[in-house]
Every structure is written in structure tokens, then in C-alpha cells.
Amino acid sequence: MEIKSMTPEELSDYFRELGQPKFRAMQVFRWLHQGAESFDEMSNIPKTLRETLKKDCVLSAPVVERKQVSKLDGTIKYLWKLSDGNCIETVLMRYKHGNTVCVSSQVGCNMGCTFCASTLGGKVRDLTPAEILDQVLFTQKDSGEIISNIVMMGIGEPLDNYDNVLRFLSLVNHPDGMNIGMRHISLSTCGLINKIDKLAPLGLQLTLSVSLHAPDDETRTKLMPVNQAVGVDALMETCRRYFETTGRRISYEYAMIDGVNDSDAQADKLAELLRGQPGHVNLIPLNNVAESPLKPSCRVREFQQRLERHGVTATVRRKLGGDIDASCGQLRRKHIHQQ
Ligand code: SAH
């Protein structure tokens, strides 16, 4: 039993079965969510109970396998080693509005996007709720920096690990835990429409980011195999429904790739897709991936201006950690190669 993946209610039930008073569950919950690494640290928990917990439960605590600090902007990239030896990445970024942590949701990824380093070796396994939460807890603990925002934009497709990601969200949002508000959390997806439809009625106040990257099926399918099953029109229809149900506007990610998705005609098509739908486009300068022939576009500003002339709000993502392999999956990839 992985104790940090348990909700307060499940912990209460478990402690009741152990014949423990009710307040113990909350005491242990607080220890776990402060990043305790062993049951022995839990000094207000009786020794006999700590022994029982040690026997019954697994307490996850990742260790720093590598840590790279950017000289340019102070961004920190962690490579964590999990209990089974797998490694995942987390990035700590410092913005004026607060510290943001970018977390992974899976070990590897099955989505196969051609420009992304995370998917090169496929998916090894899903992360547990505790393992996703640990990235926030232990980044905060190791760096000594208070974390106020979370983006689920690291390795993996969060909606392909739906149940664990939802449980993580409720844990990290809990007032007795890290208490990070949903409005401070973004979840990025390659566009799994069934899962977006499943998420919508929950009405979570998080920001949904959809990786669009192309406004037409031909280009999008080339870049993102997941498009074959869905198609741009069905995806946009799903996004429209999501907005209608949740009232939350979607942020569309668009990595600018030289000669692939950066033409004026594609900007016009993109603006057309977004007509009548409050949304926002986040243009991402492509990060070079050694294994990929795709190159960054030089037309980012022109593309942005053209979108804005059509009345579409578009921002360009600032590049952080350019000197530390900070983009998706690069450090894990390098580490696997070196071993
Ligand atoms: N699986 C989720 C989250 C992953 S990554 C998703 O697809 O949205 C977060 C964002 O980074 C996605 O928009 C992804 O497409 C983008 N990305 C991945 N590799 C990139 C690269 N080399 N350059 C720029 N953006 C990249």
C-alpha cells in the first residue's frame, strides 16, 4: 500500500481498522505532505504505530540522480530516481508571478510525437499519484523554494494516466497538504478527446492546454500520430464543449517548426479554427532534439502578429534553461544513453 497516494478519507478508514484515534490519520497525512522520508521522522506518532506503518505501507521518496542549474536564469532540472530504478524529470522555473514546477506523469510516453524526446523509447509505466506529488514536494524541499504553480508538461501524457493524475490533483490541492489552488495548475494534453470529455463535467478550475501544433490534419498527423484517430475538427469540437461545460478557456500550444507549420496560410487556418471560441495560443520555439531532423522556425514573431491581426491572442513562450537540457525528456534520454 503506497500511503502517500491515499486520500485523507482512505487514511481515516485505514487508521480506524487499526483501532487508532481519528486525529492520527490527519497527523500522518500532514507528515507525508511535508515530504517526510521515513516513518521514524513522524515524531508525534507512537513508536508501535510507526512499526505497523513500516510493515503495511510503502513510503515513496525519490532521490536526486542528477541536478542541473541554469547559469542563464536559475532554472533547475532534476532527474529523480524512483524506487524501481526508473528515472523521471522535473523542472523548477522562476517567474515573477512565482515558482513553477513542471512535472512528469509517466515514465516515457506512448504518444509518438515526432518532435518530442520523451516518447523516443515508448512508455515504460504510469507514475503513481505519490510519485507525481513527490516531484512537487521534493523539488520544494531540495531547492528550499516555495512552489506556487504546477504545469503538467513534463514526460508523459497526463490524460493517458487519468485516474492517477486526478488523484494527484486532489492531493496537491488539499488544504492540509500543499494546498496549491487549481487555478495555479495547468494540464497539457496531446488531445485525447474521450478523456477531455470525461474531465469536463468535473468543472476543475485548472487550465487545460491542448497541444495543437498544426491547424490541418495532414500536418498534424505527420507530427502527432494521435491525430490519425481524432482529427483536428473533432478535437476542436471537443475543446468547444470543454469550454462550454467548464467556462475555462483553453490554451493551445503550438511548437513552431521550420517549413512545417509556420506558413502564413497555416496562421490564417489556425485563426479560423479558433473563431468564436475564447482561447489563447502559446507559440513555443521548437527545442532541438538530437534524434529529430525538425528545426526551429524563424517566423515566430511574424506568425504571432498574423494571428493577432485575426484577433487571436498569441504569446511566445519564453525559453528557460536553454543550457541544461530543460525541455521534455532530454535529460532522461541523455542519462539512459550514458548508462
Ligand atoms: N503529453 C502532453 C504533455 C507533454 S509536453 C502534451 O502532449 O501536451 C508539453 C508540451 O511541450 C507539449 O505541447 C509538447 O508538444 C511540447 N513539446 C514537446 N517536445 C517539444 C520540443 N522539442 N520543442 C517544443 N515543444 C515541445
What's the average pLDDT block by block, 10 residues per block, for the chain (339 residues)? 96 97 96 98 97 97 96 93 97 92 97 93 97 98 97 97 98 98 98 98 98 98 96 97 96 97 98 91 91 92 97 90 71 76
326 C-beta closer than 6 A to ligand 1: no
pLDDT at position 319, please? 78
What are the backbone dihedrals phi and psi of residue 293, each rounded to the nearest 5 degrees, phi first? -80, -10
pLDDT at position 328, please? 63
Pocket test for ligand 1, best of 88, 152, 188, 320 (most atoms within 8 A of CB): 188
pLDDT at position 292, please? 85
Kindly give the pairing relationship between strand 250-256 and strand 279-285.
parallel
Q: Is the dihedral of CA 183, 186, 187, 191 positive or negative?
A: positive
Query: Which atom belonging to ligand 1 lies closest to the Cα atom of 188?
Result: 8
**Which three three-digit cell numbers place residue 256?**
513552431
Rounded Cα distance between 289 and 266, Å, is 23
Edge-first strand order for the sheet with 98-102 is 63-69, 76-81, 87-95, 98-102, 149-152, 185-189, 207-211, 250-256, 279-285, 314-316
253 C-beta closer than 6 A to ligand 1: yes
From the list 72, 73, 135, the residue with the least C-alpha distance to 104 is: 135
Q: Is the dihedral of CA 220, 222, 223, 225 positive or negative?
A: positive
pLDDT at position 154, please? 96
188 C-beta closer than 6 A to ligand 1: yes
From the list 301, 227, 294, the residue with the least C-alpha distance to 264 is: 301
- Beta-carbon contacts of 263 under 8 Å, excluding residues fewer than 6 positions away, are none
From the list 103, 106, 105, 282, the residue with the least C-alpha distance to 178 is: 103
Other CB atoms closer than 10 Å to residue 174's CB: what's the count? 15
Residue 89 annotated among the catalytic residues of the structure: yes
Q: What angle do CA 29, 55, 28 make, to 5 degrees?
A: 10
Kindly give the pairing relationship between strand 87-95 and strand 98-102.
antiparallel
pLDDT at position 163, please? 98
Q: Which one-letter amino acid corresponds to residue 290?
A: A
**Which three three-digit cell numbers place residue 207?**
487550465
Relative orientation angle of helices 264-274 and 300-309, to the nearest 10 degrees: 40
Identified catalytic residue from 87, 89, 109, 239? 89
223 C-beta closer than 6 A to ligand 1: no
210 C-beta closer than 6 A to ligand 1: no
* DSSP secondary structure code for residue 277 in this structure: S
Q: What angle do CA 72, 76, 77 make, to 5 degrees?
A: 120
pLDDT at position 199, please? 98
309 CA to centre of ligand 1 in angstroms: 26
Rounded Cα distance between 249 and 251, Å, is 7
Strands (E), the chain: 63-69, 76-81, 87-95, 98-102, 106-108, 123-126, 149-152, 185-189, 207-211, 250-256, 279-285, 314-316
| CA distances in angstroms from 54 to 7, 49, 224, listed in the order given | 18, 9, 44
pLDDT at position 208, please? 98
pLDDT at position 9, please? 96
254 CA to centre of ligand 1 in angstroms: 9
Pocket test for ligand 1, best of 106, 116, 185, 295 (most atoms within 8 A of CB): 116
Rounded Cα distance between 249 and 246, Å, is 8
338 CA to centre of ligand 1 in angstroms: 24
Pocket test for ligand 1, best of 118, 159, 222, 253 (most atoms within 8 A of CB): 253
| CA distances in angstroms from 303 to 69, 283, 339, listed in the order given | 32, 9, 41
Q: Which one-letter amino acid corresponds to residue 260?
A: V
113 C-beta closer than 6 A to ligand 1: yes
